[in-house]
């Protein structure tokens, strides 16, 4: 039987870009450092933590650069996209991101 794991699959750090909610204020979804976000998630009982910063994998990469021993961090991204029909803005969760994949995805966000 596979063990049950608790995972927070949607956390932001200070690496999230400007939020679309109040973009005129230049507000962000989170101002916390990745290490602090990770510490809180683990304190709340999470076995895995997926950093899903807006249009950035910087939070996960910063944490893993400082703590390469961590095996419970998922490099992810909340990609801001625009649907071509009607111009609807959506956020797409992409998990298992790499730096190369992040670069490849950015030019596609408008469509």
Pairwise CA distance, residues 59 & 101, whole Å: 16
Mean pLDDT along residues 25-39: 87
CB proximity list for 38: less than 8 A, separation 6 or greater: 49, 63, 70, 73
* pLDDT the model gives residue 48: 97
Mean pLDDT along residues 42-65: 96
CA nearest neighbour of 79 among 51, 52, 49: 52
71-109 pLDDT tens trace: 999 999 999 888 878 778 888 999 999 999 999 999 988
């Amino acid at each position: 039987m596979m063990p049950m794991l608790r995972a927070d699959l949607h956390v932001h750090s200070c690496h999230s870009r400007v939020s679309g909610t109040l973009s005129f204020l230049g507000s962000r979804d989170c101002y916390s450092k990745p290490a602090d976000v990770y510490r809180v998630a683990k304190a709340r009982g999470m076995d895995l933590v997926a950093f899903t910063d807006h249009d950035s994998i910087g939070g996960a990469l910063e944490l893993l650069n400082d703590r390469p021993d961590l095996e419970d961090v998922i490099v992810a991204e909340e990609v801001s996209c625009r649907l071509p029909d009607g111009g609807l803005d959506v956020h797409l969760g992409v998990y298992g991101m790499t730096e190369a994949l992040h670069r490849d995805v950015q030019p596609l966000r408008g469509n």
